[in-house]
C-alpha cells in the first residue's frame, strides 16, 4: 500500500511537467478554433472528451495560416478527418 501511494505521488508530480509543454503549444487562436469546433460537433452523439480530442487533432493538422474553420476545413480534408476520428475514438464516422 505504501508503495502505491508513493508511486501515485510521483506520477502526480510528473503530470504537470509533461503536460505543460503540450498545453503551452496551443495559442489563444487555437483554443478559439477548437472551442468553435467542439460547439459545431456537440450534437453528434459523441462523448465530450472524444469531440475535444477530435477537434484538437484537426486543429493540429491545419496550417497556422488557415482561415477556414475546422468544420469547413475537414470537408476538404477527408483523410485528416478520418485519422482524427480514429485517434479520438469517434463512433459512427
Name residues whose C-beta falls within 8 Å of residue 68's C-beta, 6 or more positions apart in sequence: 76
Query: What pLDDT, in 10s, does the model give residues 33-84?
Result: 999 999 999 999 999 999 999 999 999 999 988 999 999 999 999 999 999 9
Annotated domain spans of the chain? 27-88
Per DSSP, the residues of 26-65 read --HHHHHHHHHHHHHTTTSS--HHHHHHHHHHHHHHS-TT
Q: How confident is the model at residue 93 (pLDDT cuts 50, 70, 90)?
A: low
Taking the mean position of all CA atoms in its chain, how far away is CA 12? 21
Q: Distances in Å between the alpha carbon of 62 and those of 24, 74, 86?
A: 17, 9, 17
Amino acid at each position: 500500500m505504501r508503495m502505491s501511494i508513493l508511486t501515485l505521488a510521483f506520477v502526480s508530480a510528473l503530470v504537470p511537467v509533461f503536460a505543460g509543454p503540450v498545453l503551452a503549444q496551443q495559442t489563444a487562436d487555437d483554443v478559439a478554433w477548437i472551442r468553435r469546433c467542439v460547439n459545431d460537433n456537440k450534437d453528434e452523439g459523441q462523448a465530450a472528451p472524444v469531440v475535444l480530442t477530435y477537434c484538437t487533432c484537426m486543429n493540429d493538422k491545419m496550417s497556422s495560416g488557415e482561415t477556414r474553420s475546422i468544420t469547413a476545413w475537414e470537408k476538404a480534408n477527408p483523410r485528416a478527418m478520418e485519422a482524427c476520428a480514429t485517434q479520438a475514438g469517434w463512433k459512427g464516422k
